[in-house]
Structures are given as structure tokens and as C-alpha cells.
Amino acid sequence: MHVDSSSPPPVASSAAAELPRSPLSLRRVAIDTWRENVAYLHRDCAVYRAEGFQALSKIEVRANGHRILATLNVTSDPRIVQPHELGLSQDAFDQLGVERGHPASISQAEPPDSCQALFRKIAGERLTREDYAAIVRDIANHRYSKIELTAFVVACNRDELDREEVFFLTDAMVASGRRLDWHEPLVVDKHCIGGIPGNRTSMLVVPIVAAHGMLCPKTSSRAITSPAGTADTMEVLAKVELPFAQLAEIVSAHKACLAWGGTAHLSPADDVLISVERPLSIDSPGQMVASILSKKVAAGSTHLVLDIPIGPTAKVRSMPEAQRLRRLFEYVARRIGLSLEVVITDGRQPVGRGVGPVLEARDVMQVLENDPSAPNDLRQKALRLAGRLIECDPDVRGGDGFAIARDILDSGRALARMQALIEAQGSKGFDHHHPALGHLSFEVCAPVEGMVCSIDNFQIARVARLAGAPKVKEAGVDLLHKLGDQVAAGEPLYRVYASFPADLEFARQASQKDSGYRLGSASDVPQVFVEF
């Protein structure tokens, strides 16, 4: 495997002002500022007074031959920093690679080189390839404040990027970090645009296609606004935060991995942008395409199957909208040399029964073991997606993929491959037959008799998060009924698990305001649009 490191890790460089003569003593401030470098100075610091720094301004920090840019916060509390100290947030401190107390110098930071391009985008102008390359380079190097990042994200969302701009943004994001080369002609991956709780098909697709002999190194993200990401759920079964060298060994030995992608430094500018997109609930088509495809290309994928679910409470709510998004994905993928197949799937309700890491891990293992009680919708969707990936194999005839995937699953070969991955990554000893769920629980029951005609993906996800997921892995929602089920008045619709009384009460209040379920007749069940 080859790693293209021609693009260096994000280290700031600028023509900074002359450094202060008296170095400050570095202190690690135990605050997670989520992808933003933040520095802390005491108000009585001699350097702060002499240099005329302003709160929220950008400063350059130098120590041990390294330098980073950080947003300055000023405090009067000596418990955070003493007057002779410079405090750094967790991420910022770790980037310098020094011990507490190491001397550091600070200076005013020059504005990012790409500021003029940013201002033009804010004004609604169309930007060039060079403009996006400069902006993304400065984002990856942490030269933008959260305010500037937010302005860029909102500007791109307000004035929809044309397809050329989306390609420029994607290409720039790939170039901002590592690009892996597995020295294989066929490297496959599967991705979903998100928004559907319980949709843990990746944990089934990966062992199936790997058992077929295809290379599928799956580096996944953690949840930011959902009750669980693939990495959160896999972490119930095995370690997911592994050194990159170990990941490469696992992929070489087992044709696959299921790990957190943060250690690989792939499209780092995307991680920074996500830190402001998600709190604002901004997920514009252009930014979504750039985010997904840049990560896949940087990870060395040659073939991708992309899942776009459609439903009343999914991210995409109509077939025309799905087709527009498909065409944009296909255009950019073609420009960057990625073979892409888009499948449009049923997004009317959560997939499987469990929503939350432990509950979703239970569902996945039930499917792999061919347990009769396994959720069939999760099984069928995973088989169809795996089948599409298997058909990327030039030796497989079109239309045969589903049957091959089903045989691999039914024979136990997919389970054996997953068990091998779990052992290689570091097993957590998870017992899915008796999963350790939150010791506090309550049930949400049907107020009247009727047929389940609607399940709100967003509300179910919200209840699961309020119960503690994904941080509390044993928390979440266990669905007892799905669309089309007939229920009696007072019959439980789902069960909520939590580990802390406050979480339980938050989830209870949310479910009392809106259970997320609607009851009616068969004619009220929304039509499904599927293009498998």
C-alpha cells in the first residue's frame, strides 16, 4: 500500500510578526473545541498587554519547531491559565507534540491568503478552481475561525454551487490530506447519505464483499447528530481507533476493516467543515457531494455504491429530488475518476429494530448469524447493496450479485469474516444474545388501535439521542413495530433504554410530545420509491 503524502499535514505557515522575546509556558486546557484550535491567555499576561492582542483574533503559536494557528480566548481565571502560561485546547496542544511546560512563542497571525476569494463567495460570486484550492488549503491548515468557516458554509448553501464548483471543491478537499493507494485495480466501498436511524448495512456489506475476495477498507465516521455512526456501533464489538499502520496490516490480511477514519488524515478540510455544518443543520447538495466523494477518493476507492434513501422524513423526500442529486454525484464522480453506482432505497422508516450502538450491533450480529429473529429489512437491504458491489467484479455477470451475497451470508462465510475482523481489531467480547442495555427504560404505547402508517426518522433519532446515544452506547430505542403493523390501543410501539435518570426523563418528555408514530389505515401508508 502506498500513501501519497505530497500534501503535508495541516501546519500553518504565515509571514508572522516578530516573535515575543519572553516565551510562555504551554499548558493543556482540557476543553474539546471540536476541530478548532483555541488558545487561552490570562488578562494579566505581559505578552497579551504588550502585543495588543484582541479576544477571538487569530494568533500564531510556535513551539518545538512546529507552528499552529489558534483563536485567542482571554480569561481572568488563574485556574485556566496563569499569567506566564499559554493554554491550548486539546486538539491544538496535541498538534504541537510537546509536554506541558514547554516554552512557546506567540505572534499576530496574518489573514489567510484566500480571504479575498471567501469574500467574493459571500457576495455570491462563482469561484474558480484556484479559489477553491486556496480556501480549502487554508481550512485544512486551521487558518479560518469558526465565524469565517460558517460564512463560507452559509454562502455555499445560499447560492447553490454549480456542478463545476462542486467538482472544484471536491478536488481541493482530496488534495488537502493523504491519498491512499492500495495497489489493487478494484477497491470497493459503500456509503449512505444518512438520515435513516438503524441503517447499519455497512457492517454487513463489508464482511460479505470481503468474503467474496474484494478489497473493502471501510473507514467510517462517528455520529455527530445521529444516534450512532458505523464507527460507534462497530466500537461495541471491537476497537476502531487504531494506528494507521495497523489498519493497513488488517486490510492486507483480511481484505477489509471497519474502523474510525480519523487516524488516516483523509480529506481533513471536510472534518473541519462538518464541525460547523452539522450544528447549523446545513447539508446542501453540493457540500454533501464534495464531502462524501472526497473521502472515498482519498481512501483509495475505485468503485462506490451510494445509497440515497427517499421518504417523508428522510434527507431526500421525492424522486425528482433524488434524481437531481444522483446526477450531481455521477457528474463529479466521473470528473474525479471514481466509478459510481447510485441506488435509491426505502427511507420511510428506520432500518432494523435497534437505534443506538448496542441495539444496532445486536441487529447486525443477528443478521450475520442468520438468526430467525433478525430484522429482515436490514438483511435484505444489505444483501442488495452487497450484491451491487459484487457485480463490480468483472468475473460476475450483471444480476448475479444478490444471489452470491445471499450465499455468502447463508453459508456463514460473512460471519467468519466479521469475527476475524473483530479479533484483528481487538475484540470487546460483546454478547449480542444478552446485550448490556441501559438499566433504565420505559415503553411508548399506542394511544388508539390502528395500523402504523408513519414513523418519523428524525423524531426517533432525537429520542434515542436524548436517551444518551451514541455517547452512552447501551442507550437507544428498540422498535417493536414497523410500517404496516396492526396494533391495539395500549400496545407498546417501542422501548427506550437509558443509563442515567436525567437522560431517561429527557427522552420521556420528547416522546410524550411526539412519539414519532402515526396510526391510521392501510391507505395512509406512504408509497415507497425504490430503484434497486
The answer to whether 424 and 481 have CB atoms below 8 angstroms apart is no
Q: Is 379 exposed, middle or buried (0-12, 13-18, 19+ CB in 10 A)?
A: buried
Rounded Cα distance, 493 and 171, in Å = 46
> Who contacts 398 (Cβ-Cβ below 8 Å, separation ≥6)?
391
Cβ neighbours, 10 Å, residue 40: 22
The answer to whether 333 and 340 have CB atoms below 8 angstroms apart is yes
Distances (CA, A) of 398 to 303, 341, 379, 402: 15, 13, 21, 10
The answer to whether 297 and 339 have CB atoms below 8 angstroms apart is no
What is the pairing mode between strands 486-487 and 58-63? unpaired
The answer to whether 348 and 483 have CB atoms below 8 angstroms apart is yes
The b-or-e profile of 294-319 (16+ CB within 10 A means b, else e) is: bbbbbbbbbbbbbbbbbbebbbbeee
Rounded Cα distance, 390 and 300, in Å = 18
Q: What is the DSSP letter of 187?
A: B
Q: What is the DSSP letter of 433?
A: T
Our answer to whether residue 283 is catalytic in this structure is yes
C-alpha cell read off for 26: 504551554
> Who contacts 440 (Cβ-Cβ below 8 Å, separation ≥6)?
497, 498, 499, 500, 501, 503, 504
Residue given cell 478537499 in the structure block: 173
Annotated catalytic residue: which of 4, 159, 283, 485?
283
The b-or-e profile of 159-177 (16+ CB within 10 A means b, else e) is: bebeeebbbbbbbbbbbbb
Q: Which DSSP helix (H) or strand (E) runs through 418?
A: helix 413-425
C-alpha cell read off for 344: 435509491
> Who contacts 511 (Cβ-Cβ below 8 Å, separation ≥6)?
444, 463, 496
- 124 conformational bin, left if phi > 0, alpha if psi -120 to 50, beta if neither: left
The b-or-e profile of 512-526 (16+ CB within 10 A means b, else e) is: eeebbbebeeeeebe
- Report, as residue numbers or ranges, the catalytic residues: 283
